[in-house]
Chains A and B, each alone.
Chain A
Amino acid sequence: MKSVRDQFPILSVPENEKRLIYLDNAATSFKPLSVLKAVDDYYRMDNANPHRGVYTLGVRSTDIHENARLTAARFVNADPEEIIFTQNATEALNLVAYSYGMEFLKKGDEILISVAEHHSNLVPWQRVAKQTGSRLVYLYPGPDGRIAEEELDWKINSRTRLIAIAHVSNVLGTEAPVKSIVERARLHGAAVVLDCAQSVSHMPVDIKELGVDFAAFSGHKMYAPMGIGVLYGKKELLEKMPPFLSGGDMIANVHEQTSTYAEVPRRFEAGTRNVGGEAGLAAAIEYINSIGWETIRTHEHALMDQALKGLNALPYITVYGSTDSRDRHGVISFNVDGVHPHDTATILDSEGIAVRAGHHCAQPLMEYMGIGSCVRASIAIYNTEEDISVFLNSLGQVRRWMGYGA
């Protein structure tokens, strides 16, 4: 573990004069040296606008751009021509909403999402529903955070044209029943959009096995830089979709009044791309591969188990979602009785512990759970058993600060 921590320079910077314990990885992760170096190297040695220059430097930049696409494709077991680079998962989901949803949905159709969706996989669908006259229908998880098969049985029906769901909930940490959803979607010919922002750093994502039509993820939550993300789209769907953003590099021919567009995926990549970010993403994927999923999953599961058992043992803590750590993919949300999440987070911060407090961009879920906000602790590969122990011990201080006996 020490060797992993050594790769993340920010971990050695003290926070509030304490050792930093970063438990906000579901918001964004830190970046290892190999990623920082890949970005730095790109701008030092290979910086040119891809697909433009005929000169050697331009060719090198294009190679880095296209090799990153190949690396991303292999990472999720997809074909490179089905990989579109975006800023982040939000932009990827918006691309699907605008170029697929707005184009192919109509009055009377149903869009199905879960009430636990992040706003980025919710607000775009509200807009599609409003614009097209389709209806936005919600799946509701049980108290364990899981969506029951019975719920899928009747909510996925002949009107359902599109199902958009988070692979892993950013609040509950639960994995969606993707297989059951895809099976039912196929029966009715609905498209499935998977938001992999929270899953992609914690478990292998195999597009071919999952069988979804679209999948989105951000680089910055999986050890890559901010500002780079990926949309996977099934080629046959991408080919019939109109462009999202238009401008340079996404065209075949432009005349005064008309234009023809480039082939996919370039049709969806307008303007100069974030090639430095793509180089960083490729390095992050290589970093994850070098550690290996088995090591990552074993380590993170042990931490989730320790955290969940510790929280469950504290009488003044309410944990939201499943109490089984096998259902937890990197995320635990909770509240301290009688203490507002912001106060909990401030008190933990004074111990150098970074947790998130708020609605986690999932206000409809907060409403559904009957709370305004909660505290979220989320882990990454560099967190340690000691991090979790200090976190659990510090929670004991929270109620004392707020004037409760214990």
Chain B
Amino acid sequence: MELNALYNQIIVENSRSNQNRHKVSDATATLEGVNPSCGDDIILELRVNDGIIEDAGFTGEGCAISQASASLMIDLILGKPVEEAQKLLETFLGMIKGEISDEEQLEFLEDAIALKGISHMPGRVKCAVLPWHTLMGILDEKEAENK
């Protein structure tokens, strides 16, 4: 296994970055995501207005992979319409599952593409997807409300 593919500069820096690690004032949606097997636990908060993700932040604890993944995800979805976040979410999960490898398509993920190496590490996939599954929970709930 190549550790470089996993603990690359983007991931290590993002795992320790506090930029997106905060509570969101007037949050319109909050969801806790937990990996029961390892105790990773993040709380994701969003403020959505007129279909736009105006603010997003996370709190909680976890490994470098889950923390970096949460931070990179928030960088990516901030200021974007919910539909676009939904598409990025599918692209990210597709990348991790190894279903999407088309470079052009993956470019939309910006720095989150640094997590691609995880797709070859079954033991750590759950860490990378935790924040995204939490986002999925929020967006699916929103969709159900709108119907």
Enumerate chain A interface residues (CB-CB to B < 8 A). Answer: 16, 339-343, 346-347, 349-350, 357-359, 363, 366, 372-373, 401-403
> Nearest Cβ in chain B — how far from A24, in angstroms?
13
Check A403–B38 contact: CB distance below 8 A.
no
> Nearest Cβ in chain A — how far from B70, in angstroms?
13
Residue of B nearest to A373 (CB): B39
Check B65–A342 contact: CB distance below 8 A.
yes
Check A339–B38 contact: CB distance below 8 A.
no
In the complex, chain A residues whose CB is within 8 Å of the CB of B37: 358
In the complex, chain A residues whose CB is within 8 Å of the CB of B7: 343, 347, 401-402
Q: Mark B12-42, 1 if CB is under 8 A from A, else 0.
A: 1101100000000000000000000111110
10 A-B pairs with C-beta separation under 8 A:
A341-B38, A341-B63, A342-B40, A342-B63, A343-B7, A343-B63, A347-B7, A402-B64, A403-B12, A403-B13
Q: Contacts A403-B12, A403-B16 hold; do A343 and B39 have CB atoms under 8 A apart?
A: no
Count B interface residues, CB 8 Å. 23
Check A350–B3 contact: CB distance below 8 A.
yes
In the complex, chain B residues whose CB is within 8 Å of the CB of A372: 39-41, 61
The distance in angstroms between the C-alpha atoms of A294 and B145, with both chains bound, is 68
The distance in angstroms between the C-alpha atoms of A343 and B62, with both chains bound, is 10
Check A358–B3 contact: CB distance below 8 A.
no
Residue of A nearest to B41 (CB): A372
**Which 4 A-B residue pairs are closest in the complex by CB-CB distance?**
A340-B63, A342-B63, A403-B12, A372-B39
Total A-B contacts with CB atoms under 8 angstroms apart: 53
Known: A347-B7, A401-B7, A401-B12. 8 other contacts (CB 8 A): A340-B63, A341-B63, A342-B124, A346-B121, A357-B38, A359-B39, A372-B61, A403-B12
Check B1–A16 contact: CB distance below 8 A.
yes
Q: Contacts A366-B39, A373-B38, A402-B64 hold; do A347 and B12 have CB atoms under 8 A apart?
A: no
Q: Mark B63-79, 1 if CB is under 8 A from A, else 0.
A: 11101000000000000
In the complex, chain A residues whose CB is within 8 Å of the CB of B109: none
In the complex, chain B residues whose CB is within 8 Å of the CB of A359: 38-39
Check A342–B12 contact: CB distance below 8 A.
no
Check B38–A342 contact: CB distance below 8 A.
yes
The distance in angstroms between the C-alpha atoms of A373 and B61, with both chains bound, is 10
Contact of B65 among A343, A366, A373 (CB under 8 A): A343
Check B1–A350 contact: CB distance below 8 A.
yes
The distance in angstroms between the C-alpha atoms of A372 and B63, with both chains bound, is 11
Q: Mark B119-136, 1 if CB is under 8 A from A, else 0.
A: 001011001000000000
Check A349–B65 contact: CB distance below 8 A.
no
In the complex, chain B residues whose CB is within 8 Å of the CB of A342: 38, 40, 63, 65, 124, 127
Q: Contacts A402-B12, A403-B12, A403-B16 hold; do A358 and B38 have CB atoms under 8 A apart?
A: yes
Residue of A nearest to B67 (CB): A340
Residue of A nearest to B124 (CB): A346
In the complex, chain B residues whose CB is within 8 Å of the CB of A357: 38
Check B63–A358 contact: CB distance below 8 A.
no
Check B39–A346 contact: CB distance below 8 A.
no
The distance in angstroms between the C-alpha atoms of A339 and B38, with both chains bound, is 14
The distance in angstroms between the C-alpha atoms of A266 and B67, with both chains bound, is 52
In the complex, chain A residues whose CB is within 8 Å of the CB of B65: 342-343
Cβ-based interface call for B6 (8 A): yes
The distance in angstroms between the C-alpha atoms of A16 and B120, with both chains bound, is 13
In the complex, chain B residues whose CB is within 8 Å of the CB of A349: 1
Check A346–B123 contact: CB distance below 8 A.
yes
In the complex, chain B residues whose CB is within 8 Å of the CB of A347: 3, 7
Check B39–A339 contact: CB distance below 8 A.
no
The distance in angstroms between the C-alpha atoms of A333 and B112, with both chains bound, is 33
The distance in angstroms between the C-alpha atoms of A370 and B110, with both chains bound, is 36
In the complex, chain A residues whose CB is within 8 Å of the CB of B15: 402
In the complex, chain B residues whose CB is within 8 Å of the CB of A366: 39
Check B39–A363 contact: CB distance below 8 A.
yes
Residue of A nearest to B7 (CB): A401
The distance in angstroms between the C-alpha atoms of A350 and B127, with both chains bound, is 18
> Nearest Cβ in chain B — how far from A340, in angstroms?
4
Check B6–A346 contact: CB distance below 8 A.
yes
> Nearest Cβ in chain A — how far from B78, in angstroms?
24
Check B62–A340 contact: CB distance below 8 A.
yes
In the complex, chain B residues whose CB is within 8 Å of the CB of A16: 1
> Nearest Cβ in chain A — how far from B106, in angstroms?
23
